[in-house]
Structure 1
Amino acid sequence: MTTRRKFLATAGIAGAAALAPPALYAAKPKIRWRMQTYAGPALAEHVIKPAIESFNKIAGDEMQIELYFADQLVPTGELFRALQKGTIDAVQSDDDSMASPTEVTVFGGYFPFASRYSLDVPVLFNQYGLAEIWEKEYAKVGVKHISAGAWDPCHFATKKPINSLDDLKGKRVFTFPTAGRFMSQFGVVPVSLPWEDIEVAVQTGELDGIAWSGITEDYTVGWADVTDYFLTNNISGAWAGSFFANMDRYNALPEHLKELLKVTLDSSHYYRQWWYWGGEAELRVNGSKMKLTTIPDEEWAEVEKAAKVFWDEIAKESETKAKVIQIFKDYGELMEKAGRPYRYS
């Protein structure tokens, strides 16, 4: 296993050459930032690289951002600490994966059933007050929360078919901390590994599956090549992730570069909205690598019911968490009352 992982890491360096970081448009810019994303090279091509290329092209010799992929500078679980210390100037990640010491960390990534569709995430942040809560919480620890956006829904990709809740029992699955904490009550065994080790871990049987993405990422990063089944039931409608910056480095930027940073990173959020939304449908229908399976609605309702209990447990942990949970509840109630196309009963 160790030998294969070392080979994969070495091969990954060669592969990364074809998926190079964004070009720098100035050899000696006045300001140079280093940003690390949670994503590996193939995924970063879509979720961050176009935005950074755009920023660098416009900023020119005023400022350039060097983009690093998953675990290149520091492990993903150490991203927050590196950002806070200024080892890294900016980060693209979810709160949960980078182990942020804030009251909102549990809601990053896939908080069970907090969203039904990807558009729910920007609405919750921009119209329901989550952006202000996140900004306040991160300011307490010396980090600037720039903006949040939606990624893909969370599904299981597995070696063996999942047709019932019983089929989940004992399955060793790579997933996010909070998602794993929630799904463990149904027998799922959450496993934490470096991102680049996942494909090999599935091949060797160290993992039985992955609950880290939707089907678009499964195909993009190669996981569809080592898993055989895709469960259509999802535990969240969209991954919630953000862009963060070291507070001192951010405050030192002139106002026009702050605005440029915001605009180009917002373009990344827009790109992902249509890339994932179209990809999820296209690959379910026309993808040839994984067979779709489904847990019946009446059985999956047990998971949705358990999520409500989980929400109430989280709300008891702090006043801030209770405030976020109440926003989720108010929003969900409004969407249900609004009916189609916002919610389908």
Structure 2
Amino acid sequence: MKRRSFLKGAGLAAAAGTVAAPAIAQSAPEIRWRLTSSFPKSLDTIFGTAQIFAKYMAEATDNKFQIQVFAPGEIVGGLQALDAVQNGTVECAHTPTYYYLGKEPALAIGTGLPFGLNARQQHAWWHFAGGKELINESLAKFNVTSLVCGNSGAQMGGFFRKEINSVDDLKGLKFRIGGLGGMVLAKLGVVPQQLAPGDVYPALERGTLDAAEFVGPYDDEKLGFLKVAKYYYAPGWWEGGAMLHLIINQQKWDELPKQYQAIMSQASEAANNWMLAKYDAVNGQALRRMIGGGAELRTFSPAIMEASLKAANELYAELSAKSPDFKKAYDSMVAYRADVLPWWQLNEYAFDTFMIRTRGRS
């Protein structure tokens, strides 16, 4: 039965003629947006997350909401995504908020703190412990809002040209690392370099970098780091669960019909789950391939981990004193972490460690 006929049958013909019909016609307009990604097309999982999001939007709206995805350099550079959304060059972007901590340190917490949360904990903090409200409050200063749209899981510590056996070995090391992780390591003598993904390999090859981290085995393999550096370190303590966001121009968001806002929220959540699941599915295989290709696995020593944690806590105290937004978000994250870790230790961690220890028995 057609909706208009139903309304007439219910005795609401006048309402249908004056309100419902125009509302129906206007509620699903044709919309075309542009999205700039901070990641190159060659990285089919992290760049692909934006493509999957756009696909979900089209499918859920009968192709009425089309989003065209652009790689870095096609409209703006990978590190200029927030600026492009803020000034209306594009309607939205897929990017980690920690790229923009120079604008506001609190934005780093949106992606995740060094020694912070893992992927599931970051997602829970975002939705149920105030994270979404705190980070979007900071983003509002730049005329944008955001939706969660991806997570890498715990990242690797990166490829190094030489072994790192002590804290002293970090001094003077030119390391491609973004966000607060670079600021932490700078306290230990590292010279951090924040480069867009597509610029990392050439710098490592030329020797202008001594080490580089990106995400994990699947992407690191694609980026070819093993060809120019053989020592592969774990863990990437600076990104225990790096969250990505769909950054949206505030006016463009406000102009959307409520149903499109709801669809976009759900599409970004679905893309978030797709990205994390994809990395979980492919990282192990890529790691085995790289080991077969000559990668030498290493872990950061306890001394390096402890020194890094001490430096991180010093940095957080400094940033909290300078930025009220950082302090609010940091205090929120720390309180949530303190609340959740005992449960994690009792159950999740205990289960995982047992299964790892006994994996050869089945």
TM-based fold match above 0.5:
yes
Aligned residue pair count = 316
Aligned alpha-carbon RMSD (Å): 2.4
Greater C-alpha radius of gyration = 2
Describe the SS at the equivalent of 2:142.
coil
Contact conserved, 2:112 with 2:122, CA < 8 A, in 1? no
Could you tell me which of 326, 334, 340 is aligned with 2:346? 340
Matched, 1:261 2:279: no
**CA–CA separation in structure 2 for the residues paired with 1:94 and 1:258:** 21
CA gap 1:42/1:210 in 2 versus in 1, 3 angstroms: same
Q: CA shift at 1:219, angstroms? A: 1.7
1:249 is matched with 252
1:5 is matched with none
2:321 is matched with 316
My pick for the range that moved more, 169-178 or 43-52, is 43-52
2:30 is matched with 30
CA gap 1:103/1:207 in 2 versus in 1, 3 angstroms: closer
Matched, 1:240 2:243: yes
Q: CA shift at 1:111, angstroms? A: 2.4
Matched, 1:159 2:146: no
CA gap 1:313/1:149 in 2 versus in 1, 3 angstroms: farther
Matched, 1:303 2:308: yes
Matched, 1:209 2:215: no
Counterpart residue type for residue 273 of structure 1: L
Contact conserved, 2:110 with 2:131, CA < 8 A, in 1? no
Counterpart residue type for residue 313 of structure 2: K
Judging by fraction of residues, say which structure has more helix.
2
Contact conserved, 1:95 with 1:104, CA < 8 A, in 2? no
Q: CA shift at 1:68, angstroms? A: 0.6
Contact conserved, 1:37 with 1:68, CA < 8 A, in 2? yes
Describe the SS at the equivalent of 2:75.
coil
2:95 is matched with 93
Matched, 1:272 2:278: no
My pick for the range that moved more, 181-190 or 37-46, is 37-46
TM norm structure 1 = 0.83
Describe the SS at the equivalent of 1:147.
strand
TM norm structure 2 = 0.79
**CA–CA separation in structure 2 for the residues paired with 1:163 and 1:101:** 35
The percentage of counterpart residues that share the same residue type is 19
Contact conserved, 1:174 with 1:211, CA < 8 A, in 2? yes
Contact conserved, 1:336 with 1:342, CA < 8 A, in 2? no
Over residues 255-285 of structure 1, what are the superposed CA-to-partner deviations in whole Å (9 max), with x where a residue is unaligned? 2222221222111110122222344444445
CA gap 1:310/1:323 in 2 versus in 1, 3 angstroms: same
**CA–CA separation in structure 2 for the residues paired with 1:234 and 1:341:** 23
2:142 is matched with 141
Q: CA shift at 1:227, angstroms? A: 2.7
Contact conserved, 2:107 with 2:139, CA < 8 A, in 1? no
Over residues 287-337 of structure 1, what are the superposed CA-to-partner deviations in whole Å (9 max), with x where a residue is unaligned? 434210122224422222322222222222233222222122222222332
Contact conserved, 1:102 with 1:137, CA < 8 A, in 2? yes
Contact conserved, 1:79 with 1:98, CA < 8 A, in 2? no
Q: CA shift at 1:110, angstroms? A: 4.9
Contact conserved, 1:30 with 1:63, CA < 8 A, in 2? yes
Contact conserved, 2:107 with 2:135, CA < 8 A, in 1? no
Matched, 1:326 2:327: no
Counterpart residue type for residue 42 of structure 2: A
Describe the SS at the equivalent of 1:193.
coil
Contact conserved, 1:149 with 1:241, CA < 8 A, in 2? yes
Q: CA shift at 1:94, angstroms? A: 1.4
Describe the SS at the equivalent of 2:138.
helix
Contact conserved, 1:90 with 1:246, CA < 8 A, in 2? yes
Q: Which runs of 5+ in 1 are unaligned?
A: 1-28
